Structure 1
């Protein structure tokens, strides 16, 4: 079985939580509680690019 986080041809989301932290998430899986979609669904590269541009500080917001 292929890891759903590494599938190159799958669609993904860039998720964000209330601490302004981001996560790459497979669009085929339910968005976990406490997270919302910031970008996507889109290809993996587009979501990773969105995260890299918008998540400039890895520390939690609060």
Structure 2
């Protein structure tokens, strides 16, 4: 990691977060969430945003299955 290099926080459609160097092209399927800063600043923001590590599709599937399981 180069000293002073800027990073950007990214998120994908599954609400998974990542930090990448700001100089990199945006990976397919990802979008910036509006924070650019040091690696530590971006990592701290990801820690605050990404509170559930499960992909969004899994969370939805589990939520859809909850009433069926409660009735068993």
Could you say which TM-score interval applies, normalised by the shorter chain? 0.7 to 0.9
* Aligned-pair Cα RMSD in Å: 1.2
Which of residues 23, 26, 46 in structure 2 aligns to 1:28?
Answer: 23
Which residue pairs with 2:12 in the alignment? 17
Higher relative strand content:
1
Distance 1:54 1:45 in 2: 14
TM-score (norm 1): 0.82
Deviation of 1:8 after TM superposition, in Å, equals 4.3
Aligned residues: 57
Question: Which residues of structure 1 form unaligned runs of 5+?
Answer: 1-5
Question: Which residues of structure 2 form unaligned runs of 5+?
Answer: 58-72
SS in 1 for 2:56: coil
Deviation of 1:43 after TM superposition, in Å, equals 1.4
TM-score (norm 2): 0.72
Which residue pairs with 2:61 in the alignment? none
